[in-house]
Amino acid sequence: MKVLFIGGTGKISMAISRQLIEAGHELYLLNRGSRNSELGGSVKTITADIHDEQTAAKLLDGLTFDVVADFIAFDTPDVERDVRLFEGKTKQYIFISSASAYQKPLSDYRITESTPLANPYWEYSRKKIACEEYLLKRYRETGFPVTIVRPSHTYDERSIPLGIHGEKGSWQVAKRMLEGKPVIIQGDGTSLWTMTHNSDFARAFIGLMNNIHAIGQAVQITSDESLTWNQIYECIADALGVKLNAVHVSSEFLAACSNDKYDFYGSLLGDKSNSVVFDNTKLKRLVPGFTAQVRFDQGVKQTVNYILKHPELQVEDPEFDAWCDKVIKALDDAIKAVKQ
């Protein structure tokens, strides 16, 4: 395949890029080049900011592709631009949407691609929905060859997947665990969630590429494994070799405690506070033989071990650490006040 990725070196896309290169496909990356060197010399790079449409169009002039996938399109103007750039120049265009676009609250905890799209809590999700609607309209009216992919919580070796963390990433929560400090889990920790390793996501994604049966379709890609948030945090603590000191805080309270830096309203009420169980029948029909292979307790151990060996990924976040302490103290003070 001759493939163009817009982005191509992020949490989800890096694993896909690596697997495509290993399989001998011709891969072009259009990005600003921050991590391209990690993929070696076989990848072809187009160094540009895709938001500079005029420059991108000049650099892409004369090129055609079997597949174009945009990993950094978040709003309708982004996909409108992509249609202008790639209509008639690719056999398939893949838009990366989000499983957070599914209705909140859910009318049925079992999620399929037919579950309605509606999220009043999170603007990010509403923008993804609008992108989907625009692209499917183009497919119906002009035959633009779109495939929509909906990931859920996908993780890699560089970041520990969590319910809440600060703007500097997940390390500060891991550091709290290592220090024996209390760690916040949203709700009572019993809602179900699905974690997907990026290597599993990549295998499914590649199976949808250049797949005529995927054109005009929306497909979710997740693991079939369901865990409670309590189990997720226990797995992380076990990987760190420590005992978990959990403090359960209602999602509504955490959302109310949000500020300019920590906005948990959308990410919790519009996503992670809801139980989700994905039915991946459609994906397995389109990609015969696909099964997620990385169990979460095994995958998160790989992530933790990688981060512990790479100090540059251990980015501390004192502000978030102090915010956690304030939230926990507020709960303790409330309990004391009620008991008086």
Please check the confidence at residue 9 and state whether its pLDDT lies above 90: no
Q: How far is CA 276 from CA 155, 198, 203, 222, 298, in A?
A: 17, 19, 22, 11, 21
pLDDT at 186: 96
- What's the mean pLDDT in 321-325? 96
Cα atoms found within 13 Å of the Cα of residue 91, Cβ hemisphere only: 13
* Model pLDDT for residues 123-155, shown as the tens digit of each residue: 999 999 999 999 999 999 999 999 999 999 999
pLDDT at 42: 83
* 62 conformational bin, left if phi > 0, alpha if psi -120 to 50, beta if neither: left
Average pLDDT, the chain: 95
- CB neighbour burial string for 192-212, b if at least 16 within 10 angstroms, e if fewer: ebbbbbbbbbbbbbbbbbbbe
Alpha-carbon gap, residue 203 to 196, rounded angstroms? 12
Confidence of residue 330 (pLDDT cuts 50, 70, 90): very high
* Model pLDDT for residues 172-200, shown as the tens digit of each residue: 999 999 999 999 999 999 999 999 999 99
* Model pLDDT for residues 58-92, shown as the tens digit of each residue: 999 999 999 999 999 999 999 999 999 999 999 99
Indicate where the chain has its CATH 3.40.50.720 domain(s): 2-155+195-221
- Write the single-letter amino acid at 139: Y
Confidence of residue 8 (pLDDT cuts 50, 70, 90): confident
Please check the confidence at residue 57 and state whether its pLDDT lies above 80: yes
Residue 151: closest CA among 90, 205, 189: 205
Alpha-carbon gap, residue 151 to 97, rounded angstroms? 7
* Model pLDDT for residues 92-110, shown as the tens digit of each residue: 999 999 999 999 988 888 9
In contact, 6 and 73? CB cutoff 8 Å: yes
Let me know if domain 171-193+226-276+294-335 sits in CATH 3.90.25. yes
Please check the confidence at residue 41 and state whether its pLDDT lies above 80: no
Specify the pTM.
Answer: 0.94
Consecutive H or E run containing 36: none
Please check the confidence at residue 246 and state whether its pLDDT lies above 90: yes
* Distant-in-sequence, close-in-space partners of 18: CB < 8 Å, separation ≥ 6: 39, 202
DSSP state string for 101-121: GB-SS-SSSEE-TTSPB--TT
Q: How far is CA 14 from CA 7, 35, 36, 38, 117, in A?
A: 9, 9, 9, 9, 28
Please check the confidence at residue 252 and state whether its pLDDT lies above 90: yes
Indicate where the chain has its CATH 3.90.25 domain(s): 171-193+226-276+294-335
Does residue 329 sit in helix, strand or coil?
A: helix
Structure tokens at 247: 């403090």
Let me know if domain 2-155+195-221 sits in CATH 3.90.1300.10. no
High-pLDDT (> 70) share of the chain, %: 100
